[in-house]
Amino acid sequence: DIVMTQTPLSLPVTPGEPASISCRSSQSLVSRTDGSTYLDWYVQKPGQSPQLLIYTLSYRASAVPDRFSGSGSDTDFTLKISRVEAEDAGVYYCMQRLDYPITFGQGTRLEIK
Amino acid sequence: QITLKESGPTVLKPTQTLTLTCSFSGFSLRSSEVGVGWFRQPPGKALEWLTLIYGDDGRRYSPSLRSRGTITKDTSRNQVVLTVTNMDPKDTATYYCVYRRPGSGWIQRYFQHWGQGALVTVSS
């Protein structure tokens, strides 16, 4: 199985400040078939189901604000929020879907100071 | 508009069988490119993928189900059913069904819409 490791596990951020979450995979997430990187990011806000933020490394999902961006390569990935807003509080997960079983990181709790 | 909703028992005793139904609308589960998956989340813990079924009846399972789980679909009723035998307290979790969208390539075949989740507690 591909192991996903996120850091930090907890991230307090002041509104208006940037935030960055790291995700590392135990093997490359680059597809040998098409060269795409199958790494997605989700956020789970309190009491809600997970919502897709970023798919295939860097594509923003529909209606996701452009302050969210995904980047990285091979085994190291980053989710960045350029300016955190109060509504961004929640737990952020990276997920790989390159190979089965699909696996998630442990989650990073973003807390608004 | 795509919606999914999970239904089933909220409490089970150890060794009992869980049967969860995902009722969906807004898409058809007939194409090989469309899928519905099940995920779960133990209280306070991370998300875990369990299984996925495609419109052509192809299926994938997580090793963590250890042959206890089965996913099936009823296309005429727009439902997907997850069955897990020999339930254990460690299986206590919120179970989600999720729509895996089709796309022109795997780039766009991501998990797009999640149900609200169903909390299942396993306790004697």
Read off the pLDDT band of B116 (50, 70, 90).
very high
Q: What is the mean pLDDT of chain B?
A: 95
Which of the residues A100, A108, A109 would you substitute to probe the B interface, choosing the one with the greatest number of B C-beta atoms within 10 Å? A100
Tell whether omega for the bond before B14 is within 30 degrees of 0, i.e. cis.
no
What's the mean pLDDT in B63-88?
95
A46 touching chain B per CB within 8 A: no
What's the mean pLDDT in B58-67?
91
Task: Work out the minimum CA distance from B61 to partner chain A, whole angstroms.
Answer: 7
Residue among B46, B62, B111 minimizing CB distance to A106 = B46
Residue among B63, B105, B112 minimizing CB distance to A34 = B105
Residue among B46, B64, B115 minimizing CB distance to A49 = B115
A5 touching chain B per CB within 8 A: no
Read off the pLDDT band of B96 (50, 70, 90).
very high
**What's the pLDDT score for residue B110?**
93
Could you give the CA distance from residue A47 to residue B72 in angstroms, rounded to a whole number?
28
Given a cut of 90, is residue B66 above it in pLDDT? no
Read off the pLDDT band of B105 (50, 70, 90).
confident
Could you give the CA distance from residue A90 to residue A110 in angstroms, rounded to a whole number?
5
What is the tally of helices (H) and strands (E) in chain B? 0, 11
**What's the pLDDT score for residue B32?**
86
**What's the pLDDT score for residue A7?**
97
What's the mean pLDDT in B72-93?
97
Residues of chain A with pLDDT under 50: none
Decide: A68 and A78 in contact? Cβ < 8 Å.
Answer: no
**What's the pLDDT score for residue B11?**
98
Taking the mean position of all CA atoms in its chain, how far away is CA A93? 5
Query: Which of A31, A13, A1, A26 shows the shortest CA–CA distance to A98?
Result: A31
Instruction: Give percent of chain B with pLDDT exceeding 90.
Output: 88
A90 touching chain B per CB within 8 A: no
Read off the pLDDT band of B98 (50, 70, 90).
very high
**What's the pLDDT score for residue B119?**
98
